[in-house]
Amino acid sequence: MQAASQNLVPVTLELGGKSPVVIGRSAKLDLAGTRLTFGKLLNGGQLCLSPDYVLVPEDMEEQLVARLVDEALSSLPAELLPVLDNVAVQVLDRDEDEPGLLGLYEGVPHTERTGSEGPDVVSVFRLPLCEMCDDLDDLRDEVRVTVIHELAHAAGIDDERLDELGWA
């Protein structure tokens, strides 16, 4: 910097660290989510003030993950849309049997239905997702992958085919 000042050379200073976003209890999560996405996408996320992670009160974490699940559902691949007619999607803390599980499909895949089956359930487990993700972008991506993965099982798509489709 001292050498640059002697020669009148322009210098760009970059702020270090991550940019947090603090969401308070009175925040409207739908609006906050939209603004966070816009802020991150602006200029390809290459702004010093572009959000890197989100701090929310613990009691609002479930709402945030539910909002991300809604986002994932609104951007599903067209092949999975028919599956939504008979699937309930829920956000839970953690699976009791497998605490590290991210998601779980329970039901009869559409390719094996005979007509007498009840509704299927896809569970998304927020605590393992939040624990494994470093920032909001990771969490958003991981929630989307988990939702698509479990709904693909509801559609009768196996893991090998998921890989081929690029949905795994």
Q: Nearest to residue 64, comparing CAs of 95, 44, 36?
A: 36
* Banded pLDDT at 114 (limits 50, 70, 90): confident
Name the pTM for this structure: 0.72
- Contacts with 159 (C-beta within 8 Å, 6 or more apart), sequence order: 168
HSE on the CB side for 100, CA within 13 Å?
A: 1
Is residue 67 predicted with pLDDT exceeding 80?
yes
Q: Nearest to residue 47, comparing CAs of 22, 14, 20?
A: 14
In terms of C-beta density within 10 A (0-12 exposed, 13-18 middle, 19 or more buried), how is residue 163 classed? exposed
Q: What type of residue is 66?
A: A
Q: Nearest to residue 91, comparing CAs of 69, 59, 113, 119?
A: 69
* Banded pLDDT at 126 (limits 50, 70, 90): very high
Q: Is 133 a catalytic residue?
A: no
Q: What gap in Å lies between CA 151 and CA 121, rounded to an integer? A: 9
Q: What type of residue is 134?
A: D
- For position 48, what pLDDT does the model report? 64
Is residue 105 predicted with pLDDT exceeding 90?
yes
Q: Is 130 a catalytic residue?
A: no
CATH number, domain 59-165: 3.30.2010.20
Residue of 48, 79, 98, 117 marked active site = 48
Fill in the DSSP letter of residue 82.
G
Which stretches within the chain are classed as H helix? 2-7, 29-41, 58-74, 126-132, 136-154, 159-165
Residue of 14, 58, 112, 160 marked active site = 14
- For position 154, what pLDDT does the model report? 92
Domain locations along the chain: 59-165
